[in-house]
Amino acid sequence: MAKSAIVLGAGMVGVSTALHLRQRGWDVVLVDRRPPGEGASFGNAGLIQREAVHPHPFPRRLAELTRIARNRGVDAVYHPSALPGLAAPLLRYWWHSAPQRYEAVARAYARLIVTCLDEHMALASEAGSAELLRPIGWMRLFSTEAQMDAARLEAEAAHRDHGVGYRMLDGGALAEAEPHLMVRRAGALHWTDPYSVSDPHALTTSYARLLAAKGGNFVLGNADTLERTGAGWRVRTAEGPIEAAHAVVALGAMAGTVTRRFGYSPPLFGKRGYHRHYRLKGNAVLNRPFIDEVSGFCLVPMRAGIRLTTGAEFARPGAPQTPVQLERAEPIARSLLPLAERVEDRPWLGVRPCTPDMLPVIGRIPSENRLWGAFGHAHQGLTLGPTTGRMLAEMMTETRPFIDPEPYRAGRFN
Ligand SMILES: Cc1cc2nc3c(=O)[nH]c(=O)nc-3n(C[C@H](O)[C@H](O)[C@H](O)COP(=O)(O)OP(=O)(O)OC[C@H]3O[C@@H](n4cnc5c(N)ncnc54)[C@H](O)[C@@H]3O)c2cc1C
């Protein structure tokens, strides 16, 4: 019983945590109300972002704030009705994004990010899914030489400080790299290190299958039923009540609903995002993912088609879909690539679980014994699942974690 855990949430973070615990000999039951990998981990842009050493800050320039406030953009939109509920965490997000504070945040973030490729490859190799991790990187496309110059400086710094790989492409080299791109751009920054996952859902389920092969269990159940027992924790599942000494909350954007009942209320908020797939006309191809900086969305070649993923939508939890960003992005995407028909009728919607200081929660929940948190990975939860899983499993098994966990401790929000 002592070396046993219920892991709540079977997204990339929960599956990776369960797997790492199982690899260390613990009895593990992974619980989700849906099969593994069907939350935010299902529909993201599939980038294992080795270049993302700087998390997404809250915009601080007045021009940008004014543009977003108009609510007509593609990259960020909001439901006015959501603003009162979001005001407090967004204000804190803004505060943490001030240059000096942000630098400290980015230093802590980079320590996680630099491990992401190795940690994924270790799991994917064992799971037999390494072919999903395409070592092709992704590109940012720019319209002006001034943007290119700024991007070059940023990339040089990321390379110098964090060993991030990149190359700059001028307009001609970009046209050669992507012969079916229908616009001429000044050029591109190609981040060369990231893996582009051809099917993020398949990656998460491959890790879940590895967990099962190693003797871990997955059961359907509702995390809201988590309760204390004398020595540990109990949750109700489709297979009856399950008990374990430890519980891990890896519920992505929903984590706060469970931890709150046990005295811990992190200021989590969601950034929603949509995707839709398109076929390409004729024999056109897209060789690697890109974001066209003037457009503000991502186009990714995936198994299911060209996946268009949107930026941030701020809405009340559970509010119905309002895919205006997709509607605005689609005609622009059609001017960039020879897109044919849509693959699905309905867009997919997922929620990025965000914290105001842009760092995830990885560690013990301070209000309770043997309750652990692994959530709040915002824009990079697919990237950081295995890193988080390993760190948390090391902490739970009282081994020295391979990354100092201090900046990600849950107690910073008390
Ligand atoms: C459009 C978009 C693009 C993105 N692109 C990228 C990218 O390229 N690279 C990257 O690294 N990240 C990306 N992200 C972010 C990434 O998808 C998330 O950070 C990540 O999936 C979070 O993983 P998770 O395991 O914490 O949460 P989730 O995958 O959401 O898993 C949480 C799980 O908890 C379960 N759950 C919730 N409540 C309950 C309950 N009461 N009982 C039982 N189960 C429950 C859910 O069913 C779900 O399976 C993107 C996100 C979006 C929306």
**What pLDDT, in 10s, does the model give residues 281-298?**
999 999 999 999 988 999
* Mean pLDDT value of segment 308-317: 97
Which residues, at least 6 apart from 58, have a Cβ–Cβ distance to it below 8 Å? 90, 93, 94, 96, 97
Q: Which atom of ligand 1 is nearest to the CA of 309?
A: 1
Q: Where are the domains of the chain?
A: 1-57+100-122+198-266+356-414
Give the CA distances from residue 348 to residues 42, 277, 308, 322, in Å, rounded to whole numbers and listed in that order: 9, 10, 10, 11
* Mean pLDDT value of segment 76-80: 96
For atom 10 of ligand 1, which residue has the closest CA? Answer: 380
Contact assessment for residue 378 and residue 358, using Cβ atoms and an 8 Å cutoff: yes
Q: If you measure from the C-alpha of residue 382 to the centroid of ligand 1, how many angstroms do you get, rounded to a whole number?
A: 8
pLDDT given at position 143: 96
Q: If you measure from the C-alpha of residue 389 to the centroid of ligand 1, how many angstroms do you get, rounded to a whole number?
A: 14
Q: If you measure from the C-alpha of residue 373 to the centroid of ligand 1, how many angstroms do you get, rounded to a whole number?
A: 14
Q: Where are the alpha helices (DSSP H) in 198-300?
A: 200-213, 255-259
Whether residue 167 is predicted with pLDDT greater than 90 in this model: the reply is yes
Choose the weakest-confidence range: 37-41, 339-343, 364-368.
364-368
Q: Which atom of ligand 1 is nearest to the CA of 376?
A: 26
Sheet strands (E) in 154-289: 166-170, 187-191, 195-197, 217-220, 227-228, 233-237, 240-244, 246-249, 269-280
Q: If you measure from the C-alpha of residue 40 to the centroid of ligand 1, how many angstroms do you get, rounded to a whole number?
A: 3
Whether residue 414 is predicted with pLDDT greater than 90 in this model: the reply is no
Q: If you measure from the C-alpha of residue 371 to the centroid of ligand 1, how many angstroms do you get, rounded to a whole number?
A: 20
Q: If you measure from the C-alpha of residue 12 to the centroid of ligand 1, how many angstroms do you get, rounded to a whole number?
A: 7
pLDDT given at position 30: 98
Q: Which of 156, 141, 165 lies closest to 49, judged by CA?
A: 165
Which residues, at least 6 apart from 145, have a Cβ–Cβ distance to it below 8 Å? 186
What is the rounded distance in angstroms from the CA atom of residue 171 to the CA atom of residue 187? 4
What is the rounded distance in angstroms from the CA atom of residue 30 to the CA atom of residue 10? 7
Q: How many CB atoms lie within 10 A of CB 120?
A: 28
Side chain identity at 328, as an amino acid letter? Answer: R
Whether residue 357 is predicted with pLDDT greater than 80 in this model: the reply is yes
For atom 4 of ligand 1, which residue has the closest CA? Answer: 44
Share of the chain above pLDDT 70, in %: 100
Residues with beta carbon inside 6 Å of ligand 1? 9-14, 32-34, 38-41, 44-47, 49, 222-224, 250-252, 254, 273, 275, 309-310, 350, 352-353, 375, 377-383
Whether residue 1 is predicted with pLDDT greater than 80 in this model: the reply is no
Contact assessment for residue 252 and residue 351, using Cβ atoms and an 8 Å cutoff: yes
Q: Which atom of ligand 1 is nearest to the CA of 251?
A: 34
Q: If you measure from the C-alpha of residue 269 to the centroid of ligand 1, how many angstroms do you get, rounded to a whole number?
A: 13
CATH class in words for 1-57+100-122+198-266+356-414: alpha beta
* Mean pLDDT value of segment 165-178: 98
Q: What is the mean pLDDT of the chain?
A: 97
Each residue's pLDDT tens digit, 174-228: 999 999 999 999 999 999 999 999 999 999 999 999 999 999 999 999 999 999 9
Q: Which of 230, 268, 336 lies closest to 260, judged by CA?
A: 268
Q: Which long-range contacts (CB under 8 A, 24 or more apart) does 157-160 make?
A: 158/51, 158/53, 158/54
Contact assessment for residue 54 and residue 358, using Cβ atoms and an 8 Å cutoff: no
Whether residue 391 is predicted with pLDDT greater than 80 in this model: the reply is yes
Strands, sheet with 4-8, edge to edge from the N-terminal-most edge strand? 217-220, 27-32, 4-8, 246-249, 371-375, 361-364
Q: Which of 378, 116, 392, 114 lies closest to 246, judged by CA?
A: 392
Share of the chain above pLDDT 90, in %: 98
Q: Which atom of ligand 1 is nearest to the CA of 46?
A: 8
pLDDT given at position 371: 98
Radius of gyration of the chain from Cα atoms?
21
pLDDT given at position 149: 98
pLDDT given at position 230: 86
Confidence of residue 400 (pLDDT cuts 50, 70, 90): very high
Each residue's pLDDT tens digit, 84-110: 999 999 999 999 999 999 999 999 999
Residue of 274, 382, 387 with the most ligand 1 atoms within 8 Å of its CB, for mutation: 382
Residue 97 tokens read as 């994004």
